[in-house]
Amino acid sequence: MKALIVASPDRHRPLVRLAAATGLRQAELFGLEGHVTAAGVTVAQQLVARDKGASYLGEPKTRQSYRTVPLARSVGEEIAAYREVFPPRPVYIEDRTDPRKPVWRTAHLLFTNQRGARFGGPAGRRSGHERW
């Protein structure tokens, strides 16, 4: 795992390290907003990538997926440093975390794509994170 972290580009290294340290699913990582603190990572949503159409924020996969995962201090510090260089970007996205009341809102996603779009875009398998 260390070799994978070291081989990752600077922009992706904290994402890979957070994945290794927490065991979060890919969709959970890409759906993170302000859910990363010194105490841990709180999973409250995931980024659902569709084959056709726009991605959206949705409920975690199962009821047990709603959780807070403890975080090593060094990983928390790396995420804090990452936020300084790459602050969470506003992304206008559909939020279906309450399936009875889907809404469009601005989410400040921790990991976004690298496109020069006005509001950026959510990260995902098809948006420059091919290492997944």
Q: Could you read off the pLDDT of 47-95 as tens digits, one per residue?
A: 998 777 889 999 999 999 999 999 999 999 999 999 999 998 889 999 9
Tokens 């990363």 locate to 36
The predicted pLDDT at position 123 comes to 67
Which residue type does 48 have? V
Distance from chain centroid for Cα 94: 15
What's the predicted TM-score (pTM) here? Answer: 0.84
What lies within 8 Å, CB to CB, of 73 at 6+ separation is: 38
Per-domain residue ranges of the chain: 2-109
